[in-house]
Amino acid sequence: MDCKQMNDCAIRLPSEEDKWLEFSHLCNKERKPFIVYADLECVLRKMEPASEASYQHHEVFSVAYYVKCSYDDALSGYRSHRDNDCVAWFVNELKDLAHNVKARISANVPMETLSRQQNEAYRSATRCHICEKPFAPDDTRVRDHCHLTGRYRGPAHSNCNLNYKNSYSIPIVFHNLSGYDSHFIIKEIATAFEGRIDLLPLNKEKYISFTKHVEDTAEKKNRILKNIVCGL
């Protein structure tokens, strides 16, 4: 009704019980276990017949990527490939990476034995290290640890600990993806192996990002996702 009069807008404020915004995706406080940085290079080949108005064909001839593991440098590494099939090689590498990461994330490393100082800090703690809110007298307090390394992280509410899960996604940061590189890899990513692909398009020619769901890595309703994200 208010919009009909002088373009005024109705303002509806939140209630007293719901007036604060707060961060709720607590699992996003942890670093991604794995991230990939990638780039490709092309050569320009003149199309026949040659003329002053002839066009050049962009042909991919090399792909390189670097995998960074947040908890173990031994799992980080650089790989590259130079040939006419480099895009197919790269997509197959991503598929293998998804399966390897799924196997590692599915493992549950037991918590390391706590030192005397850690035990004392746990007993005297007044706040949950995950949500950073104080412990109430009737709260169930638990020892939170990293399931990938066994490292003790701190005292936590039981519910916070249950929701503080490892990420089942692999971000892949591509140099100039939306402006150029996506044209060379999107078809191969979509058709090389089974799994849905989600697009975040800027227009019909440019994609901000796209996500490949690798179906055969599903476990407990989670899937390893390859999320190709445009970099700088």
3-state SS record for 167-212: CCEEEEEECCHHHHHHHHHHHHHHHCCCCCEEEEECCCCCEEEEEE
User: In terms of Cα–Cα distance, which of 142, 140, 152, 146 is closest to 114?
Assistant: 152
pLDDT tier at 120, thresholds 50, 70, 90: very high
For residue 81, the domain's CATH number is: 3.30.420
- Predicted pLDDT at 4: 59
Q: Are residues 96 and 171 in the same domain?
A: yes
Rounded CA separation 226/37 (Å): 12
Q: Are residues 153 and 176 in the same domain?
A: no
User: In terms of Cα–Cα distance, which of 153, 159, 160, 163 is closest to 122?
Assistant: 153
Q: Is residue 78 part of a domain?
A: yes
Q: Which residues contact 94 (CB under 8 A, 6 or more apart)?
A: 36, 170, 172, 189, 212, 226
**Tokens 């991919």, residue?**
60
Q: Report whether pLDDT(10) > 70.
A: no
Q: What is the pLDDT of residues 59-105, one digit of tens each?
A: 888 999 999 999 999 999 999 999 888 999 999 999 899 989 988 88
Average pLDDT, the chain: 83
Q: What is the mean pLDDT of residues 140-168?
A: 89
Evaluate whether 129 touches 142 at the Cβ level (below 8 Å).
no
Q: Report whether pLDDT(225) > 60.
A: no
Rounded CA separation 98/226 (Å): 8
Q: What is the mean pLDDT of residues 191-197?
A: 83
The answer to which of 35-44, 128-137, 142-151, 173-182 has the lowest mean pLDDT is 173-182
**Tokens 């604060």, residue?**
20
Q: Is residue 225 part of a domain?
A: yes
- Predicted pLDDT at 68: 95
Q: Are residues 78 and 179 in the same domain?
A: yes
Q: Are residues 146 and 205 in the same domain?
A: no
The answer to which of 36-45, 168-177, 204-213 has the lowest mean pLDDT is 204-213
The number of domains in the chain is 2
110 or 206, higher pLDDT: 110
Global pTM? 0.77
Q: Is residue 53 part of a domain?
A: yes
Residue 34 domain boundaries: 28-108+167-230
Q: Is residue 195 part of a domain?
A: yes
Q: Are residues 143 and 202 in the same domain?
A: no
Q: Measured between alpha carbons, how far is residue 30 from residues 165, 192, 230 in Å?
A: 9, 31, 22
